[in-house]
Structure 1
Amino acid sequence: MNTDKQNSPDAAKPKWTAEKVLMVVAGAGLISALVWVFLPSTTVTTEDAYVEGNIVQVTAQIGGTVTKISADNTDHVQAGHGLVELSNVDQSVGFERAKARLAKATREVRIQYAQVRQIQAEVDVRASDVTKARADLNRRLRLASTGAVSREEVSHAQDALNSALAGLTAVNEQLAQRKAMVEGTELRTHPDILTAASDLKDAYIALRRTTIAAPIDGTVTKRNVQVGQRINPGSSLMSVVPLNRVWVNANFKESQLQNLRIGQPVTLTADLYGRNVEYKGHIEGLDAGTGSAFALLPAQNATGNWIKVTQRVPVRIALDQSEIKKHPLRVGLSMRVSVDTHDRTGLVISPGVSPDNTYSTDVFSGELKDAAEIVESVIRANEGSGAKPAGER
């Protein structure tokens, strides 16, 4: 008997046969399955998720004929960059006409102030005539008591006084009418001037609006305007998409919503970059209803033939802006979303408006730029040196 083989270290080790290996693997798989079934998972995933963003339409505020297009699809533009130009012939003529109307209104208001001063001087003359006629009447009345003058002369003096009083009343009425047109105003605050100045500003704005600018920074897409095309106010010419402010709408099954809360961390991957590039984000809010509830043609379930279909609710996921800058995304791209639902203390319904969802542009705030200076220059050129407030003598 060979005792060396029996006492060797190799002989003490158990032999791993194929059957034993299969039994171990099956046991591990069974344990994993039991853990998966009976232990609650803290991760919710879906591949029904897509990148969303703001698609800002560039529209015309006035009608006109397109003479120039300064950007096309895929171009990146800055806010305020001129995208489309319209023929400004009509607006230029209207602008010059409005300037002429303001100049005419300024001169007419000057005339009104001058008429007030003129009639005021006439009132002074009429008042002097009344004083003189009254003095003549009083003198003749004293002489009539001594018989030095006849009753006829006294009657004529009375008639002269009545005529002077009537003339003074008429002139006072004219003065009141003229004052009503300018009383309480100065040249620049007169209603006629303000109306003409507003018309000039309208014409100036219309002239500026012949250049249609980009309202925000972004990438141009969906251009559907051509040179020579006649467009109407409100016509959509193209769109600008700010790719630096995108988010993900993940459509979770209704059975997956129980543990979802606002603020929970989210890990995302895009088919564009593969699973080696991960995005970090968080749940920003859950939509108010399922996708089918807000569809153009909602499902009509009150029918005899009904089949239950699992509904999905859009969940908005905010992304890390620095990661978007490093790995840009496009609207409509597919995403894979994994939500860590371990912390379930958050809210289900948003308590207010997120400051990240506030959008604004100041491109249109400059439409009245230089308008006030143009109005002032027209008034200054036509007001002369004698313009005075109403009532000033």
Structure 2
Amino acid sequence: AFAAARANLDVSRAGIAQAQSSRGAASGELAANQALVSGSTIETDPMVLSAKAKLEAAKLDLDRAIIRAPIDGIVARRQVQVGQRVAQGSPIMTIVPLSKAYVEANFKERQLRRVKAGQPATLTADIYGGDVEYHGRVVGFSGGTGSAFALIPAQNATGNWIKVVQRVPVRIELDPKELAAHPLRVGLSMEAEVDVSGN
């Protein structure tokens, strides 16, 4: 029994020695770690600063990957495809700002005698079957008739002097609230009436 007790004592002493050795190794590791971070905080730690720099670079790359249009509207035509490389300054799409849409009404020259800028106008669009009425105002006139600015203007060199009634484009701005309620698209057909009773 005495020999068994002595053996247990030796085993216990060996366990204590091993624990003290582990404690010494842990103390050394703690001292090494404290030396790495001594005098620094989370904000000044080199690894944290490196991670912050990588995060900022990734945010900048993401911002450069997103193309923001200078105006609100819809994409009417796209000149590039997904994944295609684009040179700086090259057009990639056409955007139509529908919130600022206007009508170019081609009135006959005789209809323009009393039409002036600022007069109210009432319009209907064929797309809504005449059920929706838009309100606007005349903001200006074209500098010439539609045929004067045509790609191939009419030539009357044959001596045939038949008078042809010309049409003058008149620009009419529409109410933005009505446009928001009933959006239009470029190139639609409309009927316009200008109130000239104020003349």
Identify whether the pair has TM-score above 0.5, normalized to the shorter chain.
yes
Please give the residue correspondences for 1:250-289 in structure 2 after superposition, counting only pairs within 5 Å. Answer: 250-289=105-144
Give, as a single letter, the amino acid of the residue that structure 2 aligns with 1:289. Answer: G
The separation in 2 between residues aligned to 1:228 and 1:269, in whole angstroms, is 42
In structure 1, the residue matched to 2:91 is 236
Cα distance change, pair 238–305 in 1 and its aligned pair in 2 (3 A) = same
| SS of residue matched to 2:132 | strand
Q: TM-score, normalised by structure 1?
A: 0.33
Structure 1 or 2: more helix by fraction? 1
Q: CA deviation at 1:260?
A: 0.8
Please give the residue correspondences for 1:56-205 in structure 2 after superposition, counting only pairs within 5 Å. Answer: none
Cα distance change, pair 322–211 in 1 and its aligned pair in 2 (3 A) = closer
Q: Does 1:307 align with 2:159?
A: no
The separation in 1 between residues aligned to 2:145 and 2:197, in whole angstroms, is 24
Q: CA deviation at 1:227?
A: 3.5
Deviation by residue 1:189-234 (Cα, 9 ceiling, x = unmatched): xxxxxxxxxxxxxxxxxxx867543121111221121234344444
Cα distance change, pair 309–226 in 1 and its aligned pair in 2 (3 A) = same
The separation in 1 between residues aligned to 2:88 and 2:157, in whole angstroms, is 43
In structure 1, the residue matched to 2:151 is 296
Deviation by residue 1:335-362 (Cα, 9 ceiling, x = unmatched): 1111111112xxxxxxxxxxxxxxxxxx
Instruction: Please report the RMSD computed on the Cα atoms of aligned residues, expressed in angstroms.
Output: 2.4
Q: CA deviation at 1:236?
A: 2.0
In structure 2, the residue matched to 1:222 is 77
Q: CA deviation at 1:323?
A: 1.1
Q: Which protein is bigger by CA-based radius of gyration?
A: 1
Q: CA deviation at 1:334?
A: 0.9
- Count of aligned pairs: 139
| SS of residue matched to 1:266 | strand
Q: TM-score, normalised by structure 2?
A: 0.62
Q: CA deviation at 1:271?
A: 0.9
Cα distance change, pair 220–309 in 1 and its aligned pair in 2 (3 A) = same
The separation in 1 between residues aligned to 2:147 and 2:108, in whole angstroms, is 12
Q: Does 1:331 align with 2:180?
A: no
